[in-house]
Structure 1
Amino acid sequence: MVKIAVDAMGGDHGPGITVYGASLAMQENPELECLLFGEPKQVEEALPDFADPNRMEIIAADEVITDDDDPLRAVRRKKGSTIVKGLRAVAEREADAFVSAGSSGAIYAGGLFLIGADPEIKRPAAVSVLPTVSEASPYYMLIDSGANIAAKTEHLVEYARLGSRMAEQLLNIRNPRVGLLNIGSEPSKGNAFTKEAFQLLAAENELNFTGNVEPSVLLNGTHDIILTDGFTGNIMLKSVEGAAEILLNDLLRNVKKDGHLDENAEKVLAEAVETSIKRYTNEDIGGGFILGIKAPVVITHGAADAVMFKHSVEMAARLAHNPVFNGR
């Protein structure tokens, strides 16, 4: 059995989404158990009829860390919060992984403070698993997608090493292809940071480093890992998600405006667009996770719906089986 600690109060919608999503994950995964941290009455009221009480435990947590709180100060002071109690459960091996739609800053700080950093990584990074249009390589890992905006070039080498080991199990691939996000594919392109990072990555014989990658080809499925600093990565992540939703909805609007489709054709097209929107806005994947903490910590969108939260719990369960976390 895999046991996931769930912040039931985090996110924009609270237990109505998180508890239902966690229950969906348990319904589809009989080897999954959840510890639900939150206000007991609210959590109980949010439990759906199909929830299995034998595979969940409600643990009282009377405080919530908000986005307005200073992350590290809140972790230290709000010891009864859902984030702190959930992360502590993982640190004390009462759970195998943690999932939250709450304050990403507090989750990041709390993960380092309570669980501890992996010695292979000096500065932990955020990892987002993003979709491509390729059937052969449907996903890639973006590292760093927002945790460390002041990265050093040696950090990217560390991300490539540990990320490659993780990608083999998470993406089910061998010898992951690693690329460096840049404004051009030539080795001479970029600023001082990317040029130095290129040289360091190229010198790593155990990495399958293929060179620079331009943003325009990321959706083609030519790489399994894309490396960048957290500032650039976060901008790219939000650009991809936002552009996908805007463009796909615009496509649907223009087709409907044309007036040449019958009702059934419009319905089929609308369903196809909705499926694509869910894929490219990460609903089908769930959340991202932190690379460089000793146990799996998954952070999902504050606005996540129940399906996205379900997928986040499932990602946490997959990460719990990842060899990177074995022997922690």
Structure 2
Amino acid sequence: MRIAVDAMGGDNAPQAIVEGSIRAAKEFKDITIVLYGKQHMIQKYINEELENIEIVHTDEKIESEDDPVRSIRRKKQASMVMAARSVKEQENDALFSAGNTGALLASGTLIIGRVKGIDRPGLLATMPVMADKQDAFNLLDVGANADSKPNNINQYATLGTYYAKFVRGIDNPRVGLLNNGTEENKGNEVTKEAYKLLKENDAVNFIGNVEARELLNGIADVVVTDGFTGNAVLKTIEGTALSMVKLIKESIMNNGLKAKMGGLLLKDSLSNLKDVLDYSKHGGAVLLGLKAPVVKTHGSATSEPVYQTLKQIREMLSSHVVEDLVKYYEGENIEEKE
């Protein structure tokens, strides 16, 4: 399994990308990580020789402020573009970047290509859950398509179901439609029509409408919505988690010796809470609906999220989830996995 990595993408590139890649390469000997970027900058952070890390030198990089489509067409030698092209040409099996999100979406769609039958690929994120029997749920679309049609949302449900089943190991994933109420007649015209399509979709276990306040309680395994709403929800959850940890820490530090002593006693519990709220431990956001895995992690990612994302990509490749989706949408029968 070969993973093409845009080593120049992200705020902390190439150091964080290289360090996370080295950790993954040491732990998983069945993957080869191919780092695309300026060789002298990448080599600076590699202090040992690893058989399953390769470097492909590139002269350009796509900046965060670059226009997505224009940049991938004009910067042919950019690290992201060359990595995407290597996947299209089947030199590598998956693409990973922490760089410009729009450019990565364009690279995935225009270079690697959509699965036949998918109108618009959706960006899937894995988010934490506070329930005892469930550690996460999948939310999509979280930003690939600001304006989604009912049929797009219905396809997201099928894509999310395959991911939850074959990558996360959930036998019969519960799919919920994010809405402003649980009743069937709730929502706008898009969600009402999407509800009808989801009820008729035999490929998913549709449980109806779900409200945003129930997401972290494990109401569903997969939650589908349009990209504008999904992105807003994703950032709200991220921001709330960071604010909660900060608020607890400030409350302990600003309320005298007794609070600090209590905080010391609760140190392990608070550390566990922080781990639960840390969405980066679940990997990056997956652009589902393409002919190969394309995964994006946060632009400010450190080596830990990079490692977790490479681990996630390895699981995707091992499960053959993309191949199964291609077969499904091309009308072939998918053999039951043991």
**Equivalent residues in 2 for 1:88-167 (5 A)?**
88-167=85-164
Contact 1:128/1:142 (<8 A) preserved: yes
Q: What secondary structure, in the 3-state scheme, does the structure 2 residue paired with 1:260 have?
A: helix
Residues in 2 aligned to 1:81 and 1:238: alpha-carbon distance in whole angstroms: 29
**Equivalent residues in 2 for 1:163-202 (5 A)?**
163-202=160-199
Partner AA of 1:35 in structure 2: V
User: What TM-score, normalized to structure 2?
Assistant: 0.91
Partner AA of 1:199 in structure 2: K
Residues in 2 aligned to 1:257 and 1:75: alpha-carbon distance in whole angstroms: 50
**Counterpart residue number, 1:45:** 44
Structure 1 alignment gaps of length 5 or more: none
Residues in 2 aligned to 1:270 and 1:5: alpha-carbon distance in whole angstroms: 39
Q: What secondary structure, in the 3-state scheme, does the structure 2 residue paired with 1:80 have?
A: coil
- Post-superposition Cα deviations, 1:269-323, rounded to whole Å, max 9, x if no partner, equal 3454354335424221221110111100110011001111111111111111233
Shift, 1:39, TM fit = 0.5
- Post-superposition Cα deviations, 1:186-218, rounded to whole Å, max 9, x if no partner, equal 111111111111111112233210000001110
- Post-superposition Cα deviations, 1:112-134, rounded to whole Å, max 9, x if no partner, equal 11111011310111100111012
- Post-superposition Cα deviations, 1:251-282, rounded to whole Å, max 9, x if no partner, equal 2221333331465x534534543543354242
**Counterpart residue number, 2:210:** 213
Q: Residue 315 and residue 66 in structure 1: after superposition, are their counterparts in 2 closer, same or farther (change >3 A)?
A: same
- Post-superposition Cα deviations, 1:94-114, rounded to whole Å, max 9, x if no partner, equal 111111100010110011111
Shift, 1:239, TM fit = 0.2
Contact 1:252/1:273 (<8 A) preserved: no
**Counterpart residue number, 2:24:** 25
Contact 1:249/1:273 (<8 A) preserved: no
**Counterpart residue number, 2:301:** 304
Partner AA of 2:67 in structure 1: D
Shift, 1:171, TM fit = 1.5
Residues in 2 aligned to 1:248 and 1:171: alpha-carbon distance in whole angstroms: 27
Give aligned pairs, total.
Answer: 324
Structure 2 alignment gaps of length 5 or more: 327-338
Residues in 1 aligned to 2:265 and 2:235: alpha-carbon distance in whole angstroms: 28
User: What TM-score, normalized to structure 1?
Assistant: 0.94
Contact 2:295/2:313 (<8 A) preserved: yes
Residues in 2 aligned to 1:78 and 1:321: alpha-carbon distance in whole angstroms: 32
Contact 2:87/2:292 (<8 A) preserved: yes
Contact 2:210/2:219 (<8 A) preserved: no
Q: What secondary structure, in the 3-state scheme, does the structure 1 residue paired with 2:198 have?
A: helix
Shift, 1:162, TM fit = 2.3
Residues in 1 aligned to 2:75 and 2:212: alpha-carbon distance in whole angstroms: 41
Q: What secondary structure, in the 3-state scheme, does the structure 2 residue paired with 1:98 have?
A: strand
| 2:245 equivalent to 1:241 | no
Q: What secondary structure, in the 3-state scheme, does the structure 1 residue paired with 2:281 have?
A: coil
